[in-house]
Amino acid sequence: MEKRSDPSAETQASELTYAGYLRLEALLACQTPLSETHDEMLFIVIHQASELWMKLCLHELTAARTAIAEDRLDTAFKMMARVARVQQQLIGSWEILATITPADYSAMRGKLGSSSGFQSHQYRAMEFLMGNKNAAMVRVFADAPPLQAMLQDALEQPSIYDEALRALARAGLPVPEEQLTRDVTKPYEASPGVEACWREIYASPERYWNLYELAEKLVDLEYRFQLWRFGHLKTVERVIGFKRGTGGTAGVPYLARVIDQVFFPELLTVRAVL
């Protein structure tokens, strides 16, 4: 029997416009400056665009984690490579934001209240997905139950590195059992046994080519995440100096401490023993 298409669906598709598909009317109505400062529009657009890029990163990294768990590493590589390109956009956004002068920022800062990038639930979800677990960050969203529930779920899920180590074990490498069965809600701690596994992979890339490429894709993610953090630090330093942040953080000193946090420690330390 011939399958008939739905005429109403075809009509709707033919009437779909660029603005309608992207919901531009609603999207472009989201930029509402609270001050008369000219640069506040830039400040809003940069942060909103960054949140959209982070949404895409979460979409890709979550799918990549699933692909790694299913040993579909080639699929995961495509997604991780895309995230690396998105991270370049995030890094580049700091150069645009840095065109705001201290005087311009001071003129609008009073309107920002206690709002801060520290309160970005998507940033926290990205950190959890990468492995920087911190239950205290979930409690920050106690006044927003849906966001808190989303972050609690992210806290309880294995990180992309947890799944990578499980992939190594399935490939026959001697990943320590305690690393495979650890409490994934806790911060990851470096393991000499895991470093030894990565060392074997780097010593024989032809034998472990997919795992070797997985290692380098993870290093790419960490490298660009750290550049993003550093760009944030230098932009804040340039615009507000050593003043306290709007969210009550210590500002530049807080951001400097964050840079020291590492996601995949053995992939860095193994380079010293190759």
Mark the binding-site residues, compressed into ranges: 43-47, 105, 109, 232, 246
Residue type at 105? Y
* Residues annotated in a binding site for substrate: 43-47, 105, 109, 246
Report in angstroms the alpha-carbon separations of 273 from 111, 164, 196, 262: 52, 21, 10, 18
Helix (H, G, I), strand (E, B) or coil at 80: helix
Specify whether the backbone of 261 is left (phi greater than 0), alpha (psi in -120 to 50) or beta.
Answer: beta
**b/e map of 242-270 (b: 16 or more CB within 10 Å)?**
eeebbbebebbebbeebeeebbbbbbbbb
| The token pair that represents 188 in the structure block | 């990851």
- The residue assigned the tokens 């309880």 is 156
The answer to whether the CB of 266 falls within 8 A of the CB of 198 is yes
Residue 186 DSSP code: S
- The residue assigned the tokens 């984690």 is 65
Helix (H, G, I), strand (E, B) or coil at 256: helix
* Residues annotated in a binding site for heme: 232
Roughly how many angstroms between the first and final C-alpha of the chain, as a whole number? 65
